[in-house]
Amino acid sequence: MNSNDAIFAQLATLGSSLVLLFGIALLWRRSLSAYVRAFRWQSLALALTFALIGYFGHNRELYIVAAILVVLKVIVIPGYLTRLYERVGGKREAQPYVNIATSLIIAGLLVLLSYAITRPLVTVSKLPTRNGIPLAVGLILIGVFVIISRRKALSQIIGFLVLENGVALLAALGTYGIPLIVELGVFLDVLMGFLVMQILVYQIKDTFESIDVEQLSRLRH
């Protein structure tokens, strides 16, 4: 492993750690605007990591992916989100199901779990970026956890987006990215999914006068 690779490995791990940290920040803050901000910074860090991998891994396509990431997940989607919560939600997340302290402990446990799970993958892989893989998987698990432990629909959407980020990071670290056409497809997917969720949030608000997802159980007869 030459020095170039060593620097690459270090920077890649640094980037992934930053991405993960911003994800954990989601579990620490309470207000919706903080959520959106955390997401923004996370996506920026992710884009930089992508560009990094593209540079060191000599894969031009990743630059394009990074650029789209910036446009979509740093500018467009957070913009929509801000507009959404200004119109619909209160500024604060109501009491989540799991309180902050417990959530942080669980996040830590999830990251440990992801290390356990990805150990065979890390030992097998020859890529310099392999040390970041557990972090990416941890981010995925944290995204899932955010979805299940938050009450408001908006928080759940953000949890979903973080999950997407985690998957993209895993793809980049594990295989230096996926074919461009697939990546574009995924972006389209995310955008569409987001728009659908937006519509749903408006509908929930209209029907229940609140975006507390628990109210949905009133639909059961």
- Identify the residue among 113, 122, 180, 197 touching another protein (CB under 8 A): 113
| In the complex, least distance from residue 113 CB atom to another protein, rounded to whole angstroms | 7
DSSP 3-state of 92: strand
Q: Do residues 56 and 2 make contact, with C-beta atoms less than 8 angstroms apart?
A: no
- Using rule CB under 8 A, residue 203 touches another protein: no
Cβ distance to another protein smaller for residue 60 or 220: 220
| Selected range binding another protein among 58-66, 68-76, 110-118, 123-131, rule: CB under 8 A | 110-118
Smallest CA-to-CA distance from 198 within 68, 79, 96, 97 is with 79
With 0-12 / 13-18 / 19 or more C-beta atoms within 10 angstroms meaning exposed / middle / buried, residue 58 is exposed
CB nearer to another protein: give 53 or 141. Answer: 141
Contact at 8 Å (CB) between 152 and 93?
yes
- Out of 34, 106, 144, 178, the only residue in the binding site for another protein (CB under 8 A) is 144
Q: To 5 degrees, how large is the angle CA 9–CA 14–CA 16? A: 95
Binding site for another protein (CB under 8 A): 97, 113, 116-117, 119-120, 141, 144-145, 147-148, 213-214, 216-220
